[in-house]
Amino acid sequence: MDFSIKAYDAKNSIAAAKSGCVVVGVFENKKLSAAADALDASGAISAALKSGDISGKPGSALLLRGLDKVGAARVLLVGLGSADALSEKAFTSAVQAAAKAFTTLGCNDAVLALPFDDVKGRDTAWAIRSAVQALRESVFRTDGQKSKKDTSTSGVRKITLACAANAANKTALAQAIAIVNGMELTKELGNLSPNVANPTYLANTAKKLGKDYGFSVEVLERKQLEALKMGSFLSVTNGSEQPPKFIVIKHMGGKPKDAPVVLVGKGITFDTGGISLKPGPSMDEMKYDMCGAGSVLGTFRAIGELNLKLNVIGVIPACENMPSGRATKPGDIVTAMNGLTIEILNTDAEGRLILCDALTYAERFKPAAVIDIATLTGACVIALGNHNSGLFTRHDEDHDALADELLAAGKQASDTAWRMPTGELYNEQLKSNFADLANIGGQPGGSITAACFLENFTRSYKWAHIDIAGTAWKSGAAKGATGRPVPLLTTFLIKRAG
């Protein structure tokens, strides 16, 4: 889809605009939006409302053709809900209704003339980003590995957003497109079958991003990881035939001496649970256990496209977690890169074992902040469901400020997170009789003890952990990666860049 912004006024009216379709909103109390009123010279829109052909409820839609004194061939009415306050949900539902209709129309271009400035509690930039994301989501395809592709409709491909063509809105549109491009890379990586999207594939994806956007990319192999004494990470790789890859990708868009933000993404390209084997039902969804890594790569695509003036480094430990005669066993004790010993009580708690060495490795960059992103615990899904990602940090002034930044970015991007507690009381659950740490702390507070485990490897810098186990993908009929938390991360970095 191609997007542009155009302002309509008395001299350049929306009624005179030539297009295949113009989309305007109507409200539940039979009230017309300003744009709908401007197209109602013939009274056809008012008549449709009065007759009940469209209710005005969010998500409702009605297509009209050949209206007098309207330059567009078609007028699509979409419901906006209550006229007293246009809500975020109602606005998004209206765009989704338009997106659905666009796939069936026999025209190539359309004007989206919704009230971008009137969403309660949101600015125009949010409305632009929300519209672009909803419209692009409607045409995102998941049939890349099918021998016969799904039926494709031509539909609308050029969309003009009817709002002020000022610098702020143009910037919002550029950011929206970059974020959606990043989300789509993340979704494509997550949806690929695990026999394709293995650690080597992730490494090659990072290298391609490096070529496309000028990133520096380094991929460490097993011998280098052994030399670095990454015993925890390597313990997870023991049962797999696929070689591990430790990917480091750098976007140095800021000043040379500026401390970088480091994003650490969990890259388990398939998780059987290892010797602590998972149950069979839905195990196929464990191809999504690399969505933390995918979100880092997607975020890099977004910031590369924006040429963000900030130093950002991505660190991705990538491997499979497989059972075999060589696989790590429950009860094994391994030594992490920072020298701590870990008793592995459950080999299915492997994400924290690869992340802890990556977090130690991140120290060398003397970071301004380190954020790890991982599909880490089912316990986070139980705690927060599928709406909010879990956010964990230490509880002090510096970390409170970092948490507030991330939460605000998530709210702005409609990619929300919820802060969870941490602390020494939870660390008590990670005690081992035989090693410095156990890799699990039992069922109570499982997402919290997982974060507390990681916190042991982050004492030298500011750190936050985002658990995306409930938000990285959807199950059921809508099965597929969501692209989260690319919007949150990219918005956070845009704000950091100032």
pLDDT in tens, 26-79: 999 899 999 999 999 999 999 999 999 999 999 999 999 999 999 999 999 999
For CA atoms 365, 370, 372, 373, the dihedral sign is: negative
For residue 390, what are the contacts with CB-CB under 8 A and spacing of at least 6?
A: 380, 383, 384, 417, 418, 420, 447, 451, 466, 467, 468, 469, 470
Q: Which of 135, 89, 131 lies closest to 114, judged by CA?
A: 131
The values of phi and psi at residue 384, to 5°, are -120, -5
Q: What is the pLDDT of residue 153?
A: 67
Q: What percentage of the chain carries pLDDT values higher than 70?
A: 100
Q: What would the two tokens of residue 181 be?
A: 């491009």
Residue labelled with tokens 């507070």: 445
Amino acid at 100: K
- Burial (CB count within 10 angstroms: exposed 0-12, middle 13-18, buried 19+), residue 418: middle
pTM above 0.85, yes or no: yes
Q: What is the pLDDT of residue 321?
A: 98
Summarised one tens digit per residue, pLDDT across range 160-208 is: 999 999 999 999 999 999 999 999 999 999 999 999 999 999 999 999 9
Q: Write down the CATH superfamily of domain 2-165.
A: Leucine Aminopeptidase, subunit E, domain 1 (3.40.220.10)
Is 352 an active-site residue?
yes
Q: Which of 208, 210, 199 lies closest to 240, judged by CA?
A: 199
CA separation for the pair 179, 413 (Å, rounded): 10
The full set of domain ranges for the chain reads: 2-165, 178-497
Please tell me the number of Cα atoms within 13 Å of 318 on its side-chain side.
33
Q: What is the pLDDT of residue 149?
A: 85
CATH class held by domain 178-497: alpha beta
Q: Residue ranges of the chain with pLDDT lower than 50?
A: none
Among residues 57, 158, 208, 278, the one annotated as catalytic is 278
Summarised one tens digit per residue, pLDDT across range 220-256 is: 999 999 999 999 999 999 999 999 999 999 999 999 9
Among residues 122, 250, 301, 352, the one annotated as catalytic is 352
Is 278 an active-site residue?
yes
For residue 157, what are the contacts with CB-CB under 8 A and spacing of at least 6?
A: 1, 2, 108, 109
Pairing status of strand 61-65 against strand 109-113: unpaired
For residue 239, what are the contacts with CB-CB under 8 A and spacing of at least 6?
A: 274, 275, 320, 321, 322, 323, 324, 326, 327, 328
